[in-house]
Amino acid sequence: MGTPDFAVPALQALVQNGYDVALVVTQPDRPKGRGRRLTAPPVKVKALELKLDILQPSTLKNEKFLERIEHIQPDFLVVIAFGHILTETILHLPKFGAINVHASLLPKYRGPAPIQWAIINGEPQTGVTTMLMDKGLDTGDTLLAKKEPIFAEDTSADLHDRLAVSSADLLIKTLEGCASRKIKPIPQDHSQATYAPLLKKQDGHIDWKKPAEQLHSFIRGMTPWPGAFTYHHLNRLRVLRAALVSENVSAPAGTILPGFADELRVATGKDALSILKIQGPSGKQLAIADFLRGYPLPPGTILQ
């Protein structure tokens, strides 16, 4: 059970390691892009390539869907970024349990956006955890975990891709350990739990009053989705990459500072941020020198 790109390496690993994937359950096809063309989720695309049976229920409370799962009599349910909450009825169907792969070191960063929030909050590391699912949200007993460093220039996309590969490896080790009864589930310490809420488009608005170091993490965590942005008058400017500048700044936060002709330094609550890559009204992602040739922003200009 999975839907986005993150779940694809694990599905591939199951097949490559000889597991009998009796059924792939994923979200329905959705309209996508400017043309609103009906598009299959990445897990479905991979499942078709692997010639696996697929179901795309709009609800999990459908009797025919439950009958199909019961008929299979699964040893495991493997759930990765599926997008549906599983009922207790479904959770109790597999012989060995429903195993979820979550992109954090639980109990930290439960919820739908653990990768983004780990970077936004300036964490030095994160990882993936496998757990036995219960009726709560990422609250089940943990099975195995694997740590992953967060590098200084990592965006959410960079970290996403590494964790997706790690999750596939950890899943196979977890299934082997559960089948042989060598893994003992460990209850989570709920007092240490933190939550990583779903991000919305408006959450990417840059608050220049925050310190440059914090904003650097914010921009990386918001890339590629939902995207960090600021405004120049009514024009929305999306900031894709930036660098820290250690500088005593007296100008108000959001003010463009004097610098080289091909540079865009912005005052923050502490120090400054140099914008390296940006997307302006044209819609093209440009290196800052190319952007400024067509869209000059002189010192003293205020970004909001």
pLDDT tens, residue by residue, 144-179: 999 999 999 999 999 999 999 999 999 999 999 999
Task: Kindly report whether the global pTM for this prediction surpasses the value 0.75.
Answer: yes
Domain parsing of the chain, residue ranges: 5-192, 201-294
Whether 247 has a pLDDT exceeding 90, the answer reads: no
Tokens describing residue 129: 């955890």
Provide the CATH topology of domain 5-192: Rossmann fold (3.40.50)
With b for 16 or more beta-carbon neighbours within 10 A and e for fewer, the 73-89 pattern comes to: ebebbbbbbbebebeee
The domain 201-294 belongs to what CATH superfamily? Answer: Formyl transferase, C-terminal domain (3.10.25.10)
pLDDT tens, residue by residue, 9-44: 999 999 999 999 999 999 999 998 878 899 999 999
Express as a percent the part of the chain with pLDDT over 90. Answer: 91
Tokens describing residue 170: 């950890």
Q: Kind and range of the H or E element at 279?
A: strand 272-279
> CB burial class (10 A; 0-12, 13-18, 19+) of residue 45?
middle
